[in-house]
Amino acid sequence: MSNLLDLSAKVDPLFPGLFATLGEVSGSMGVPFFVVGATARDLILGLGYGLPGRRATMDVDLGIRVAGWDVFQKLKQSLIATRQFTQTQLAHRLKYREELLVDILPFGEIANAKGEIRWPPGEDVVMSMVGFEDAYRAALRVRVRAHPPLDILVASTPGLTILKLVAWADRPPERDRDAVDLAHILESYLDAGNYARLLEAHVDLVEVENFDYVRAGARLLGRDVASMGEPKTIERIREILARETADNGQYQLIQAMMPARGVSDEVWKKSFDDIMGQLRQLLIGIGDR
């Protein structure tokens, strides 16, 4: 991908105002943010490369890099003070202009040694933020307004892969949407600006017997994930993938990535085998690095 992805003519009309206000408030506090989740998926794969996903989203997901809960609370209150945001019943969720839900996910020094955050006041809600630092460092610059120029940071596709694997593994029964997004990323990685890279810098993945386009993309994605992640993050990703692709495993991730049932057993088995092959190539690609 280029250093700047210009989507200013394509983004939702609400986005420039949303990100301008976020930038002003967070910038005044020295708090960086970047776009994650399905919003990043839609910006990069959907608007950037014209690759429609399997599911729609009506919210905006943000990673906010903060040192502690006091800074997080101050940021929330400062956003609400603009009168463009209102609080919802969820601690991490605001509503922008009564139209867009905005999920604010704190990461950075606020996390403990395990990479977890524990939401106050009771600390009974625990969330893994493993991979957020890696994804933030490798984020892409995206232009959402042309005049005057407004650029934001958006998680790259390899960064999203890390975040979605960790989020799914954190709470598998609740995170099927992350598995669905992962399936979309694996299916379309070469079509998202990476085919030329495959031919130029990873020709060893092409010059093989029984070349498979999607599996080659999955292995290239694995290499890209490994090149951007810290050792602890990559070890976590490898653990998840090794468990979910092991012989005689429960295959929870693959089943969550599968299309809805309603097809013949033959079609279902082919989909299962295809996804298993893609995940195994993703794991092999990580090992290549």
- The pLDDT of residue 1: 40
For residue 278, give every residue at least 6 positions away whose Cβ sits within 8 Å of its Cβ, in sequence order, or none.
186, 187, 214, 215, 218
- The pLDDT of residue 276: 97
Counting Cα atoms < 13 Å in the Cβ hemisphere of 49 gives 20
Which tokens is 163 given?
Answer: 């975040």
Whole-model pTM over 0.75: yes
- The pLDDT of residue 14: 94
- The pLDDT of residue 264: 78
Per-10-residue mean pLDDT of the chain, 289 residues long, equals 83 96 98 96 95 76 97 98 96 95 97 95 92 98 97 98 97 90 96 96 94 97 97 97 94 90 80 96 95
| Domain residue limits, the chain | 4-155, 166-288
Beta 4-6 vs 140-145: how paired, if at all? parallel
Give the N- to C-terminal CA distance of the chain in Å, as an integer.
20
- The pLDDT of residue 58: 72
C-alpha–C-alpha distance, residues 94 and 85, integer Å: 6
DSSP codes joined into one string, the chain: --SEEE-TTTS-TTHHHHHHHHHHHHHHHT--EEEEHHHHHIIIIIIIH----SS---EEEEEEE-SSHHHHHHHHHHHHHTTSEEE-SSTTEEEETTTEEEEEEEESTTS-TTSEEEETTT--EEEE-TTHHHHHHTPEEEEEETTTTEEEEE--HHHHHHHHHHHHHHSGGG-HHHHHHHHHHHHHTTTTTTHHHHHHH-GGGTSSTT--HHHHHHHHHHHHHHHHS-HHHHHHHHHHHHHHHSTT---HHHHHHSPPS-S-HHHHHHHHHHHHHHHHHHHHHHHH-
Fold of 4-155: Beta Polymerase; domain 2 (3.30.460)
* Residue 161, amino acid: T
